[in-house]
Amino acid sequence: MRLARERLGVAALAGDRQGQQTRCDSGADGHSPDEERAGLVSARTSAKPHHERHRSGGFPTRLESLSIQTPCFFHKQESEHVQPTAIDSKSKSHPNERVAFIQACWHKDIVDQSRKGFIAEMANHGYAESDIDIFEVGGAFEIPLHAKLLANTGRYSGIVGAALVVDGGIYRHEFVAQSVVSALMQVQLETEVPVFSVVLTPHHFHAGEEHQKFFFDHFSHKGEEAAKTCADTLNKVRSLRRLDAQQKAAC
């Protein structure tokens, strides 16, 4: 008789919990079957398949509560343009910038035209003639060393080398020109001071009047091109360095 009453009590207890879900039930959706039968839970919710409710195996993740930390160098700079599109005014914002112009003395009358063209065009970008220091060396081969020594002083924001390398009838002038230009590239990579080349070598050079006129005009034009490239590069390098400083400060 006592055993029958215990069985009856267990059955009644089970009947009282018939409409409840257990925590170990992988199909539990947080609502009891009693609520669903009573219409307290929308049919859409109660009818949603298990694999749609919990795609990760029954343990949903609250993504909205996560805070994803990104490295500081990925932070967007709202007020900074990484790639400047216009040359700003040096005379207004960067009065202390200086440029070094190194020129070889061989065929000086021709190489002088690149210097004159360079100075005239730099004035259009806010650089006065007094902002440009002129250095003369014997030939093109001496330019890279002077460029590196000047770069190491920290005084100059940019350096230009100019020379006319011609075939003297003894050796191949292309070797000299290539060595000089490669060395100038190495200088700027090692010192992080922009270096620009107006070191030119013609296929054929004659000291006649026609050739003289052509190279006078050509070197003047190349000097102007170097000035435009120099001013634009200095502006972009300045902006990139400012951005790098801001990123380091943020870190």
H or E element: which one contains 140? none
Please check the confidence at residue 72 and state whether its pLDDT lies above 50.
no
Closest to 96 measured CA to CA, from 124, 131, 122, 129: 131
Active-site annotation holds for 172: yes
What average pLDDT does range 13-19 have in this prediction? 48
Query: What pLDDT, on the 0 to 100 scale, is given for residue 135?
Result: 98
Answer yes or no: is 106 a known binding residue.
Answer: yes
Closest to 127 measured CA to CA, from 85, 156, 84: 156
Instruction: Decide which of 33 and 73 is more confident.
Output: 33
Give residue-wise pLDDT tens across range 206-227.
677 777 888 899 999 999 999 9
H or E element: which one contains 110? helix 108-123
Closest to 89 measured CA to CA, from 119, 51, 128: 128
Answer yes or no: is 211 a known binding residue.
Answer: yes
What average pLDDT does range 63-69 have in this prediction? 36
Instruction: Decide which of 49 and 70 is more confident.
Output: 49
What average pLDDT does range 176-181 have in this prediction? 90
Give residue-wise pLDDT tens across range 96-112.
799 999 999 999 999 99
DSSP 77: -
Answer yes or no: is 63 a known binding residue.
Answer: no
Answer yes or no: is 189 a known binding residue.
Answer: no
Catalytic residue, from 17, 172, 241, 242: name it: 172
Query: What pLDDT, on the 0 to 100 scale, is given for residue 251?
Result: 82
Closest to 80 measured CA to CA, from 251, 232, 243: 243
Answer yes or no: is 12 a known binding residue.
Answer: no
Query: What pLDDT, on the 0 to 100 scale, is given for residue 166?
Result: 84
The first and second tokens of residue 164, run together, are 């006319």
Alpha-carbon span 202 to 98, nearest angstrom: 31
User: Cα 159–166–114 angle (5° rounding)?
Assistant: 35
Answer yes or no: is 141 a known binding residue.
Answer: yes
**Per-state percent for the chain, helix, strand, coil, to nearest 5:** 55, 10, 35
Answer yes or no: is 164 a known binding residue.
Answer: yes
Q: For residue 170, give the amino acid letter.
A: I
Sequence-distant (6+) residues with CB within 8 A of 132 are 98, 99, 100, 101, 118, 119, 122
Q: Which residues of 89-111 are buried (b: 16+ CB within 10 A; e: fewer)?
A: ebeeebeebebbbbbbebbeebb
Give residue-wise pLDDT tens across range 117-173.
999 999 999 999 999 999 999 999 999 999 999 999 999 999 999 999 987 655 666
Q: For residue 251, give the amino acid letter.
A: C
To which residue do tokens 């035209």 refer? 113
Alpha-carbon span 85 to 98, nearest angstrom: 22
To which residue do tokens 């069985």 refer? 7
Mean pLDDT of the chain: 74
Report the DSSP beta bridge partners of residue 199: 163
Domains along the chain with CATH numbers: 97-250 (3.40.50.960)
